[in-house]
Structure 1
Amino acid sequence: MTIRLVSRFPVDDQRLSALHARAFGADPAEVRPWAQRLERHALTWIGAFDGGDLVGFVQVCWDGGSHAFLLDTAVDPDRRRRGVGTRLVRAAADEARAAGCAWLHVDFEPHLQRFYLDGCGFRPTQAGLVRLG
Protein backbone atom coordinates (compact mmCIF):
# COMPACT_ATOMS: atom_id res chain seq x y z
CA MET A 1 0.00 0.00 0.00
CA THR A 2 1.52 3.30 -1.14
CA ILE A 3 -0.43 6.22 0.28
CA ARG A 4 -0.12 9.64 -1.32
CA LEU A 5 -1.30 12.72 0.62
CA VAL A 6 -2.81 15.50 -1.47
CA SER A 7 -3.65 18.92 -0.03
CA ARG A 8 -6.68 20.80 -1.29
CA PHE A 9 -7.49 18.08 -3.79
CA PRO A 10 -10.55 18.54 -6.04
CA VAL A 11 -13.34 17.16 -3.88
CA ASP A 12 -15.97 14.84 -5.27
CA ASP A 13 -18.92 15.05 -2.85
CA GLN A 14 -20.00 11.46 -3.51
CA ARG A 15 -16.55 9.95 -2.93
CA LEU A 16 -15.92 11.92 0.26
CA SER A 17 -19.42 11.20 1.58
CA ALA A 18 -18.89 7.50 0.89
CA LEU A 19 -15.59 7.54 2.80
CA HIS A 20 -17.27 9.24 5.75
CA ALA A 21 -20.10 6.73 5.69
CA ARG A 22 -17.60 3.85 5.85
CA ALA A 23 -15.48 5.53 8.53
CA PHE A 24 -18.33 6.60 10.81
CA GLY A 25 -21.06 4.09 10.05
CA ALA A 26 -23.32 6.74 8.49
CA ASP A 27 -25.91 6.37 5.77
CA PRO A 28 -24.00 5.64 2.54
CA ALA A 29 -26.82 7.14 0.45
CA GLU A 30 -26.44 10.60 2.01
CA VAL A 31 -24.26 12.91 -0.08
CA ARG A 32 -23.10 16.09 1.63
CA PRO A 33 -21.91 19.28 -0.11
CA TRP A 34 -18.27 18.83 0.93
CA ALA A 35 -16.64 20.81 -1.86
CA GLN A 36 -18.75 23.91 -1.19
CA ARG A 37 -18.22 23.75 2.58
CA LEU A 38 -14.47 23.21 2.32
CA GLU A 39 -13.94 26.06 -0.13
CA ARG A 40 -15.92 28.37 2.14
CA HIS A 41 -14.72 27.38 5.62
CA ALA A 42 -11.49 25.38 5.54
CA LEU A 43 -7.93 26.60 5.79
CA THR A 44 -6.98 23.33 4.10
CA TRP A 45 -8.02 19.74 3.62
CA ILE A 46 -5.95 16.69 2.86
CA GLY A 47 -6.86 13.43 1.19
CA ALA A 48 -5.03 10.14 1.49
CA PHE A 49 -5.07 8.24 -1.79
CA ASP A 50 -4.15 4.65 -2.52
CA GLY A 51 -3.91 4.73 -6.29
CA GLY A 52 -7.12 6.49 -7.28
CA ASP A 53 -9.01 5.49 -4.13
CA LEU A 54 -9.73 8.08 -1.44
CA VAL A 55 -8.88 6.19 1.77
CA GLY A 56 -8.46 9.03 4.26
CA PHE A 57 -9.37 12.64 4.86
CA VAL A 58 -8.93 15.51 7.30
CA GLN A 59 -9.79 19.19 7.24
CA VAL A 60 -8.50 22.20 9.12
CA CYS A 61 -10.76 25.16 9.83
CA TRP A 62 -9.48 28.31 11.50
CA ASP A 63 -10.30 31.64 13.00
CA GLY A 64 -8.17 33.56 10.51
CA GLY A 65 -5.54 34.08 13.20
CA SER A 66 -3.62 31.79 15.50
CA HIS A 67 -6.20 29.04 16.17
CA ALA A 68 -6.91 26.13 13.83
CA PHE A 69 -9.37 23.30 14.35
CA LEU A 70 -8.95 19.72 13.16
CA LEU A 71 -12.20 18.23 11.86
CA ASP A 72 -13.53 15.12 10.16
CA THR A 73 -10.47 12.90 10.44
CA ALA A 74 -11.54 9.76 8.62
CA VAL A 75 -9.74 6.63 7.44
CA ASP A 76 -11.36 3.79 5.54
CA PRO A 77 -11.87 0.93 8.03
CA ASP A 78 -9.86 -1.42 5.76
CA ARG A 79 -6.84 0.93 5.95
CA ARG A 80 -6.78 1.67 9.69
CA ARG A 81 -3.86 0.96 11.99
CA ARG A 82 -1.34 1.51 9.20
CA GLY A 83 -0.37 5.10 9.97
CA VAL A 84 -2.70 6.79 7.48
CA GLY A 85 -4.57 8.82 10.11
CA THR A 86 -1.38 9.87 11.86
CA ARG A 87 0.15 11.02 8.58
CA LEU A 88 -3.00 13.01 7.77
CA VAL A 89 -3.03 14.75 11.15
CA ARG A 90 0.68 15.57 11.00
CA ALA A 91 0.30 16.99 7.49
CA ALA A 92 -2.66 19.07 8.67
CA ALA A 93 -0.60 20.40 11.59
CA ASP A 94 2.25 21.29 9.21
CA GLU A 95 -0.11 23.22 6.95
CA ALA A 96 -1.73 25.06 9.87
CA ARG A 97 1.73 25.99 11.17
CA ALA A 98 2.79 27.20 7.72
CA ALA A 99 -0.32 29.41 7.61
CA GLY A 100 0.81 31.12 10.82
CA CYS A 101 -1.38 29.26 13.31
CA ALA A 102 0.05 28.79 16.79
CA TRP A 103 -2.57 26.33 18.07
CA LEU A 104 -4.32 23.29 16.62
CA HIS A 105 -7.40 22.16 18.52
CA VAL A 106 -9.17 18.82 18.26
CA ASP A 107 -12.18 17.30 19.99
CA PHE A 108 -12.45 13.54 20.13
CA GLU A 109 -14.40 10.73 21.73
CA PRO A 110 -12.76 8.77 24.56
CA HIS A 111 -11.97 5.74 22.38
CA LEU A 112 -9.75 7.98 20.19
CA GLN A 113 -7.66 9.33 23.07
CA ARG A 114 -4.72 7.01 22.40
CA PHE A 115 -4.66 8.00 18.71
CA TYR A 116 -4.71 11.76 19.28
CA LEU A 117 -2.65 11.99 22.47
CA ASP A 118 -0.08 9.23 21.99
CA GLY A 119 -0.01 8.93 18.21
CA CYS A 120 -0.42 12.53 17.12
CA GLY A 121 1.09 14.50 20.01
CA PHE A 122 -1.94 16.40 21.27
CA ARG A 123 -2.15 17.09 24.98
CA PRO A 124 -5.29 16.99 27.08
CA THR A 125 -6.95 20.29 27.93
CA GLN A 126 -10.15 21.37 29.54
CA ALA A 127 -12.81 22.55 27.15
CA GLY A 128 -16.52 23.13 27.07
CA LEU A 129 -19.25 22.09 24.71
CA VAL A 130 -22.88 23.13 24.35
CA ARG A 131 -25.38 21.40 22.08
CA LEU A 132 -27.18 24.01 19.98
CA GLY A 133 -29.90 21.88 18.51
Structure 2
Amino acid sequence: MNSNSVEYRELSVISPEMTEEMTELYRQAGWLAPEESGAFIPRAMAGSTVALGVFDGSRLIGMGRAVSDGVSDAYIQDIAVSPDYRKRGIGGEIVRHIVAALRARGIDWIGLVGEPGTEHFYEELGFTRKPGYTLWKL
Protein backbone atom coordinates (compact mmCIF):
# COMPACT_ATOMS: atom_id res chain seq x y z
CA MET A 1 0.00 0.00 0.00
CA ASN A 2 1.20 3.49 -0.75
CA SER A 3 -0.49 6.77 0.07
CA ASN A 4 -1.54 7.16 -3.58
CA SER A 5 -3.81 4.11 -3.41
CA VAL A 6 -6.04 5.52 -0.67
CA GLU A 7 -9.12 7.64 -1.22
CA TYR A 8 -9.89 10.88 0.66
CA ARG A 9 -13.62 11.59 0.91
CA GLU A 10 -15.72 14.22 2.62
CA LEU A 11 -18.30 12.39 4.68
CA SER A 12 -21.96 13.28 4.91
CA VAL A 13 -23.27 10.03 6.41
CA ILE A 14 -21.50 7.97 9.05
CA SER A 15 -22.54 4.33 8.80
CA PRO A 16 -22.49 1.99 11.82
CA GLU A 17 -19.40 0.32 10.32
CA MET A 18 -17.64 3.68 9.99
CA THR A 19 -18.61 4.52 13.56
CA GLU A 20 -16.89 1.34 14.74
CA GLU A 21 -13.78 2.11 12.66
CA MET A 22 -13.68 5.72 13.89
CA THR A 23 -14.09 4.54 17.47
CA GLU A 24 -11.06 2.31 16.96
CA LEU A 25 -9.08 5.25 15.51
CA TYR A 26 -10.02 7.34 18.58
CA ARG A 27 -8.80 4.49 20.82
CA GLN A 28 -5.55 4.08 18.86
CA ALA A 29 -4.94 7.82 19.23
CA GLY A 30 -5.50 7.57 23.00
CA TRP A 31 -8.64 9.72 22.97
CA LEU A 32 -10.98 6.93 24.16
CA ALA A 33 -10.37 4.24 26.74
CA PRO A 34 -11.30 0.65 25.78
CA GLU A 35 -14.45 0.77 27.88
CA GLU A 36 -15.63 4.14 26.50
CA SER A 37 -18.30 4.32 23.82
CA GLY A 38 -17.89 5.98 20.45
CA ALA A 39 -21.63 6.63 20.25
CA PHE A 40 -21.00 10.41 20.05
CA ILE A 41 -18.93 10.12 16.86
CA PRO A 42 -21.69 10.22 14.21
CA ARG A 43 -23.17 13.37 15.79
CA ALA A 44 -19.73 14.98 16.14
CA MET A 45 -18.95 14.30 12.49
CA ALA A 46 -22.40 15.48 11.34
CA GLY A 47 -21.92 18.70 13.31
CA SER A 48 -18.55 19.36 11.72
CA THR A 49 -18.13 21.77 8.82
CA VAL A 50 -15.78 19.28 7.17
CA ALA A 51 -15.58 15.60 8.07
CA LEU A 52 -13.03 13.63 6.08
CA GLY A 53 -12.43 9.91 5.85
CA VAL A 54 -9.49 8.11 4.29
CA PHE A 55 -10.20 4.71 2.83
CA ASP A 56 -8.10 1.81 1.64
CA GLY A 57 -10.78 0.00 -0.31
CA SER A 58 -13.76 -0.08 2.02
CA ARG A 59 -11.65 0.14 5.19
CA LEU A 60 -11.51 3.48 7.00
CA ILE A 61 -7.83 4.04 7.85
CA GLY A 62 -7.78 7.74 8.70
CA MET A 63 -9.96 10.70 9.50
CA GLY A 64 -10.09 14.32 10.48
CA ARG A 65 -12.58 17.11 10.86
CA ALA A 66 -12.98 20.84 11.24
CA VAL A 67 -15.51 22.81 13.24
CA SER A 68 -16.37 26.31 12.12
CA ASP A 69 -18.80 29.20 12.13
CA GLY A 70 -19.03 28.54 8.39
CA VAL A 71 -17.99 32.08 7.54
CA SER A 72 -14.54 33.08 8.73
CA ASP A 73 -12.98 30.85 11.41
CA ALA A 74 -12.36 27.12 11.75
CA TYR A 75 -10.49 24.70 13.95
CA ILE A 76 -9.08 21.41 12.70
CA GLN A 77 -9.25 18.49 15.10
CA ASP A 78 -9.31 14.71 15.45
CA ILE A 79 -6.62 13.96 12.87
CA ALA A 80 -5.99 10.23 13.21
CA VAL A 81 -4.39 7.53 11.07
CA SER A 82 -4.37 3.81 11.76
CA PRO A 83 -0.94 2.73 13.09
CA ASP A 84 -0.42 0.41 10.09
CA TYR A 85 -0.66 3.43 7.75
CA ARG A 86 1.36 6.03 9.63
CA LYS A 87 4.56 7.64 8.32
CA ARG A 88 3.25 7.56 4.72
CA GLY A 89 2.06 11.15 4.37
CA ILE A 90 -1.60 10.35 4.97
CA GLY A 91 -1.98 12.61 8.03
CA GLY A 92 -0.55 15.55 6.11
CA GLU A 93 -2.90 14.88 3.21
CA ILE A 94 -5.86 14.79 5.60
CA VAL A 95 -4.92 18.26 6.86
CA ARG A 96 -4.33 19.58 3.31
CA HIS A 97 -7.72 18.25 2.15
CA ILE A 98 -9.50 19.84 5.12
CA VAL A 99 -7.72 23.17 4.60
CA ALA A 100 -8.66 23.14 0.89
CA ALA A 101 -12.29 22.34 1.71
CA LEU A 102 -12.42 25.18 4.26
CA ARG A 103 -10.83 27.68 1.89
CA ALA A 104 -13.26 26.63 -0.85
CA ARG A 105 -16.02 27.69 1.57
CA GLY A 106 -14.34 31.09 2.07
CA ILE A 107 -12.98 30.26 5.52
CA ASP A 108 -9.50 31.74 5.82
CA TRP A 109 -8.67 31.71 9.56
CA ILE A 110 -7.79 28.12 10.38
CA GLY A 111 -6.41 27.06 13.74
CA LEU A 112 -5.89 23.82 15.60
CA VAL A 113 -4.71 22.38 18.87
CA GLY A 114 -2.18 19.59 18.45
CA GLU A 115 -1.17 16.85 20.82
CA PRO A 116 2.22 17.32 22.51
CA GLY A 117 4.93 16.14 20.14
CA THR A 118 3.03 17.05 16.95
CA GLU A 119 4.52 20.52 16.60
CA HIS A 120 6.92 19.57 13.79
CA PHE A 121 4.13 17.78 11.87
CA TYR A 122 1.93 20.89 11.84
CA GLU A 123 4.84 23.29 11.21
CA GLU A 124 5.71 21.24 8.10
CA LEU A 125 2.13 21.90 6.91
CA GLY A 126 2.53 25.67 7.31
CA PHE A 127 0.96 26.18 10.72
CA THR A 128 2.75 28.53 13.11
CA ARG A 129 2.59 28.93 16.86
CA LYS A 130 1.03 32.13 18.09
CA PRO A 131 3.22 33.50 20.89
CA GLY A 132 1.27 35.36 23.51
CA TYR A 133 -1.90 33.31 23.01
CA THR A 134 -3.08 30.93 25.67
CA LEU A 135 -5.21 27.83 25.22
CA TRP A 136 -8.23 27.96 27.49
CA LYS A 137 -10.27 24.92 28.48
CA LEU A 138 -13.26 24.53 30.73
* TM > 0.5: yes
Unaligned runs of 5+ in 1: none
Of the candidates 6, 20, 44, which is equivalent to residue 9 of structure 2? 6
Q: Write the distance in 2 (CA, Å) between the matches of 1:62 and 1:9.
A: 16
Determine whether 1:110 maps to 2:113: no
Q: Write the distance in 2 (CA, Å) between the matches of 1:43 and 1:14.
A: 21
TM-score normalised by L of structure 1: 0.88
Q: Write the distance in 2 (CA, Å) between the matches of 1:29 and 1:5.
A: 29
Determine whether 1:37 maps to 2:40: no
Amino acid at match of 1:5: Y
Q: Among the aligned pairs, what percent are the same residue?
A: 29
What's the RMSD between the two structures over aligned residues? 1.6
TM-score normalised by L of structure 2: 0.85
Deviation sequence 1:13-52 (CA, Å, 0-9, x none): 222111111232632343322111222x310111111111
Unaligned runs of 5+ in 2: none
